[in-house]
Amino acid sequence: MTKKQKKVFIRIMIAAFLMPVCYFIPVENSYLRLLVFMIPYLIIGYDILRKAVLGVVHGEVFDENFLMAAATVGAILLGEYMEGVAVMLFYQIGELFQSYAVGKSRRNISQLMDIRPDYANIEMDGEIEQVDPDEVAIGTIILIQPGEKVPIDGVVTEGRASLNTSALTGESLPREVKEGDEVISGCVNMSGVLKIRTTREFGESTVSKILELVENSSMKKSRSENFITRFARYYTPAVCYGALALAILPPVFHLILGQEAHWALWVTRALTTLVISCPCALVISIPLSFFGGIGGASAKGILVKGSNYLEALSETKYVVCDKTGTLTKGVFAVTYQEAAEGFTEEELLEAAAFAESYSNHPISKSLQEAYGREIDRSRVQDVEEISGHGVCARVDGRRVAAGSRKLMKKLDITPVEPGRTGTEVHVSVDGKYAGYILISDMVKPGAKQAVADLKRAGVKEIVMLTGDGRTVAEAVASELGVDIVKSELLPADKVDEVEHLLEKKGKKEKLAFVGDGINDAPVLSRADLGIAMGALGSDAAIEAADIVLMDDDPAKIALAMQISRKTLRIVHQNIVFALAVKFSCLFLGAVGVVGMWWAIFADVGVMILAVLNATRALTFRKK
């Protein structure tokens, strides 16, 4: 408990002890009895009365503090001292319970996302000095010892270690790193001493971006939250005016008919409806449910930028996936090559590797690795990268082109049709066809199961988009069980395909695009829901996507949908339960069937039950 919560708890205990004492004190004089009951009432309710008065002064009249103050003061003025104190006591118990539940939710999320580093180690004159990560410049060598967090993104310059990435990915499997490997902030060094050369400032590092994302997630409200906000804005004044009408109109009507007014009876009923009408259960439990859902998702390595995206995820009926890096590993290797007449396989591979030597694309890297020798880039000039087609360059004075069949056709060269499956890299030298190289990308182990999980989750169509050739694309799609495959697409073509699917879907259906977040930013932004896969250290992913999966596991997509739907079920349960009890008790209170004690249950009891239900969103077990 916080200090504030402890103080409220002590006040509750004192008031709870004084209430029966005051009730059994043999005081006949009504004024003395009022003074006796005012002691526990002011102990437990002075802060509510103060907030109610300040609300009236500042023009914010209709809130739960005003409702509680009006109802309890009215009950005391009518001589119902015990009921007035009891309403305030139970309201404070409900508020304490709510405060504790919200605090626990926040602490759980803080623990799950406890990745903010406290310091960075810099070696100076043979001694290690701890400095604030904000003060570390790009290119600085920092030291990470076993048990310490990696404070800033960088590259390992010395050492080998196992890194615990569970706070980022939700997975307990450690990641081995060695000299030359990139590491990201937020991981914990489990073994060995690492020296890292920083590649970013702390404010731009992965840990800072993730923490900012989580902290801002509550700013983007779902439709359910916006509905409750609008509902409370009109509902509270309506019930206040309704209670006033209930207190005045029936007695006046009785007087007109020449009957006894029974003012006390109708005022008591009006005060009862005020207590019943307090919308705490809805106003507190709905945001808490979404907050819990976002926290539960973050524990699984799924970062959701707002409750509106969590809600949209539950309505997703179309999932469009990029192939490379999403459904496949994105690790390419040369599996076959065939040289045309007049060229050897060695010449073919050398020409392709040199032409692609300035590119960081996985296919280019695989060609350079297959070549296996150091590439002298001074031999390469006039490099021109043609988006979606390939690369043209001058190697040793000869014009070399390496890329897709489209590139060959663009250069008026007829490529050979390979008899095997794989990503094709066709090569020409000085306008003459030199042959082709096949590069294969491995399907992720969990990709097939992930597709099956999505279909079980109610997704109508799973579409795969790729720039690869038709044969390769269809082979992968067939292996995974994907419904629709679109191949040989340029980046702009992917946007067009998503646009077409958006026109096809129903009004209440959502389309999610899943990509690696680096090359797919335009498509991620255009879809109803952009999901970035394997986004550790990727700025583009965190910026463009609405939901960020922090590892490369495609099964997290279906898991995120399950978390979303559980959260929405809890939200709808709370809305239906709270409104059903509220309106039932309001009617029964207005006609005099239920009294102040039922009103206490309708307010405090419903709020406690709704908050308890909302906290279930924090935990999730995969089905």
At residue 116, does pLDDT exceed 90?
Answer: no
> What whole-number percentage of the chain has pLDDT above 90?
18
Instruction: Assess if residue 423 is contained within a domain.
Output: yes
- What is the H or E stretch that residue 441 is in? strand 432-443
Whether residues 457 and 367 share a domain: the answer is: no
pLDDT tens-digit profile of 513-563? 988 755 676 788 788 888 887 655 456 556 777 888 877 788 889 999 999
Beta bridge partners of 597: none
Rounded Cα distance between 81 and 37, Å, is 6
Q: Which two tokens stand for residue 554?
A: 């495609």
With CA atoms as reference, report the closest residue to 532 among 360, 323, 326, 296: 326
Integer CA distances (angstroms), 259 to 243, 591, 600, in order? 22, 18, 32
**How far apart (Å, rounded) are the C-alpha atoms in residues 254 and 249?**
9
What is the rounded radius of gyration, in angstroms, for the C-alpha atoms of the chain?
A: 33
Q: What is the mean pLDDT of residues 566-590?
A: 85
Q: Residue 298: how many CB atoms within 10 A of its CB?
A: 23
Residue 104 corresponds to which amino acid?
Answer: K
Burial (Cβ within 10 Å: 0-12, 13-18, ≥19) of residue 253:
exposed
Condensed to tens digits (0 to 9), the pLDDT of residues 408-460 reads: 998 999 998 887 777 889 999 999 999 999 988 778 888 899 999 999 988 99
Angle, CA 613 vertex, CA 607 and CA 619 arms, to 5°:
145
Mean pLDDT is highest, among 139-143, 463-467, 489-493, for 139-143
Going by C-beta distance under 8 Å and a sequence separation of 6 or more, which residues neighbour residue 234?
none
Q: Residues 283, 228: contact at Cβ < 8 Å?
A: yes
| Packing angle, helices 606-614 and 280-299, rounded to 10 | 10
Rounded Cα–Cα distance for residues 299 and 304 (Å) = 11
Q: What is the CATH number of the domain that holds 360?
A: 3.40.1110.10
In terms of domains, do 452 and 540 share one?
Answer: yes
In this structure, the answer to whether residues 348 and 476 fall within a common structural domain is no
Helix (H, G, I), strand (E, B) or coil at 86: helix
CA–CA gap between residue 195 and residue 179 (Å, rounded): 9
283 domain residue, yes or no: yes
> Residue 149 gets which letter from DSSP?
B
Which pLDDT band, with edges at 50, 70 and 90, does 344 fall under? very high
Whether 283 and 238 map to the same domain: the answer is yes
> Could you give the number of structural domains in the chain?
4
Task: Please state the rounded mean pLDDT for residues 19-34.
Answer: 83
Measured CA to CA, the distance from residue 185 to residue 369 in angstroms comes to 29
Number of Cβ within 10 Å of residue 121's Cβ equals 20
For 197, the enclosing helix (H) or strand (E) is strand 194-198
pLDDT value at position 537? Answer: 46
Render pLDDT for 188-203 as a digit per residue (tens, 0 to 9): 888 888 999 998 888 8
Number of H-type helices and E-type strands within the chain: 21, 22
Residues 449 and 538 occupy one common structural domain: yes
What the block records as the tokens of 335 is 């599996």
Treating both helix axes as pointing N-terminal to C-terminal, what angle do 447-456 and 555-590 enclose, rounded to 10 degrees? 20
> Which structural domain, as residue segments, surrounds residue 497?
306-327+444-550
Going by pLDDT thresholds of 50, 70 and 90, the confidence category of residue 281 is low
Which pLDDT score, from 0 to 100, does residue 75 have?
Answer: 76
Are 378 and 513 contained in the same domain?
no
317/362 same-domain check: no
Nearest to 183 by CA among 203, 214, 213, 158: 158
Return the higher-pLDDT residue of 111 and 285: 285
Q: How far is CA 238 from the centre of its chain?
A: 35
> Which residues are bridge partners to 465 per DSSP?
322, 486
Query: Which pLDDT score is estimated for 228?
Result: 63
Q: How far apart are CA 258 and CA 547, in angstroms?
A: 68
* pLDDT at site 421: 74
> Residues 183, 186, 191, 195: is their CA dihedral positive or negative?
positive
Quick one: tokens of 27?
């005081």
CB 158 within 8 A of CB 179: yes
Q: How many CB atoms lie within 10 A of CB 319?
A: 29
Same domain, 319 and 342: no
- Measured distance CA(19)–CA(81) in Å, rounded: 10
Mean of the per-residue pLDDT values of the chain: 82
Same domain, 409 and 457: no
> Of 422, 441, 460, which residue sits at a domain end?
441
Do 358 and 437 lie in a common domain?
Answer: yes
Q: Beta partners for 183?
A: 154
Q: Answer yes or no: is 83 within a domain.
A: yes
Give the model confidence (pLDDT) of 191-246 as tens digits. Answer: 888 999 998 888 877 767 666 665 555 555 556 666 666 776 777 788 788 888 88
Which tokens belong to 131?
């400095």
Using alpha carbons only, what angle is made at residue 72 by residues 573 and 8, rounded to the nearest 5 degrees? 70
Domain final residue, candidates 165, 199, 233: 199
User: Rounded CA gap, 184 and 105, in Å?
Assistant: 27
Enter the pTM of the model.
0.65
Residue 301 domain-assigned (yes or no): no
HEC states along 298-362?
HHCCEEECCHHHHHHHCCEEEEEEECECCCEEEEEEEEEEEECCCCCHHHHHHHHHHHCCCCCCH
- What is each CA distance from 154 to 151, 188, 198, 499, in whole angstroms? 9, 14, 4, 38
**CB of 539 within 8 A of CB of 209?**
yes
User: 46 and 24 in one domain?
Assistant: yes
Distance of CA 49 to the CA centre of its chain: 38
> pLDDT at residue 343 above 80?
yes
> What pLDDT does residue 408 have?
93
142 within 8 A of 183, measured Cβ to Cβ: no
Q: Which amino acid is at 116?
A: R
Q: How far apart are CA 293 and CA 252, in angstroms?
A: 51
Q: Please write the tens of the pLDDT for every residue from 382-403.
A: 988 887 788 999 999 999 999 9
Give which of 330, 405, 394 is closest to 364, Cα–Cα: 330
Give the integer Cα–Cα distance in Å for 596 and 75: 9
For the stretch 17-53, what's the b/e string if a residue is b when 16 or more beta carbons lie within 10 angstroms of its beta carbon?
A: ebbeebeeeeeeeeeebeebbbbbbebbbeebbebbe
Cα distances from 66 to residues 12, 430, 594, in angstroms, run 20, 85, 22
Domain contains 298: no
Residue 142 — very low, low, confident or very high, per pLDDT cuts 50/70/90? very high
SS3 161: strand
Q: What is the rounded CA–CA span in Å between residue 396 and residue 39?
A: 96
Does residue 89 surpass a pLDDT of 80? yes
In a domain, 534, yes or no: yes
Residue 157 — very low, low, confident or very high, per pLDDT cuts 50/70/90?
very high
Is 471 domain-assigned? yes
Q: Do the domain assignments include residue 51?
A: yes
Could you tell me the CATH number of the domain that includes residue 534? Answer: 3.40.50.1000
CATH number at residue 168: 2.70.150.10
Share of the chain above pLDDT 70, in %: 86
Asked whether the beta carbons of 254 and 260 are under 8 A apart, the reply is yes
Chain CA centroid to CA 54, Å: 36
Task: Give the pLDDT confidence score for residue 345 in this predicted structure.
Answer: 92
- Active site members: 322
Q: Which pLDDT belongs to residue 388? A: 73
Residues 102 and 249 both lie in one domain = yes
Among 495, 517, 550, the domain-final residue is 550
